[in-house]
Amino acid sequence: MKRKQQEDDNDDGVEKAVSPVVATTSNTMNTDLLLQSPSKLSQKQDYIFHGGRRHVRPYYFEFISHVNKRWTGKTIVDLFADEFKGRPREYYVGAVKSGRIKVDGEIVPVSYIVKSSQKITHFLHRHEPPVMIDDVVILHQEPDVVTVCKPASVPVHPCGQYRKNTVVGILDAEHDLGTLFPIHRLDRLVSGLLIIARTAAKADFFRQQIEGGMVKKRYIAKVIGVFPEDEMIVDANIDYNGSEGRSTAEDANSSGDDKKVKGKPACTKFTRIDTNGTHSLVSCEPVTGRTHQIRVHLQYTGHPIANDPLYLNQHIDDLETYIAKRIDAGERKMVSPDDYVYSSEDFSIDPMCTNCPKLIPQGYEEHDEALWLHCVQYSGTGWKYECPYPSWASL
């Protein structure tokens, strides 16, 4: 299911936390009454655990954007209706009239035409998508660094629709570690080792080693079929298509002089760990770090990750694909999001909110499942950190 674009998905937005909230039932909320507390991202009471997933209690939030070239000349309502289709046009008309959407801090008419570089703020009732219920487990803690096992489905840091339901947000709520500096990222559906610096100096130390090519990474994947026993090195360019949200691989040596190879150079080393004839466990060592590199390089070998709906080859039997995708969901016995019954003890309904009284924002009703790709080791000059294998890493 392709999720509808929400305002949270736009890269032009800059976040500003607003907390706590003054209760009101009016459509014209006085944002001046809100106290800003940007130092604390999350607290334990911000979360609701339901149906095998971690939810966030809806909260008020102000998005800040500046008018770019594409937006210039549009009316304020047309801008939001065209760019952020997750809410109906009628909502944006009401938000402009009530002052929830402002231009340069001022309430404007719905016919107002925006100008380049103007500051636009949107004050809204924010519903975050749920994530899987697994804990963010601290593996190793030092004064200037902490390593954790990131659960699948949880983003590393605030991005898109996610803010509190992130590794950084959960750690802030449950462990109060202070300011954190993630030094690398894992795709949202990937689990495993995440290294986080606790000081700017330590973050710079890791950054220099990563940029200098001094850091080695190792993942484990569960793939379709019998992976070759001998070590395999895939040297194929990765071309990421942002509109489709997926990458393709092309052999860097396959094209003639008259055809330019697309994408960026990418290299991954694969070694089979075990196989049962149906699936194989494979050690993956990416030399470069392109978007979806391991996933698309495994697809390139003919052995995609066994529950990867984005890169499973078309010839894979539909039944096997379906079974692989549903294993984690079946084990967790998760219930449908429709089973959630609103309670005033969980959160207050905002009369203008297009998601209330539902807990989950529109477009995120499907369950996420753990991708069978897990980061197990990072090492550099004078240091090495590891993470245990996940439960699915057995045949």
Catalytic (active-site) positions: 187
From CA 328, how far away is CA 156, in angstroms rounded? 21
Round to whole Å and give the CA distance between 153 and 335. Answer: 17
Beta bridge partners of 23: none
Please state, in angstroms and rounded to a whole number, the distance separating the CA atoms of residues 318 and 312.
Answer: 10
Q: List phi, psi (to 5°) of 313.
A: -65, 155
Q: How far apart (Å, rounded) are the C-alpha atoms in residues 304 and 227?
A: 10
**d(C-alpha 141, C-alpha 126), whole Å:** 33
d(CA 326, CA 337): 16
Distances (CA, A) of 180 to 44, 152, 199, 354: 18, 20, 7, 33
| Close Cβ partners of 128 (under 8 Å, ≥ 6 residues apart) | 55, 56, 58, 161, 162, 163, 164, 165, 361
> Six-digit token pair at 57?
């209690």
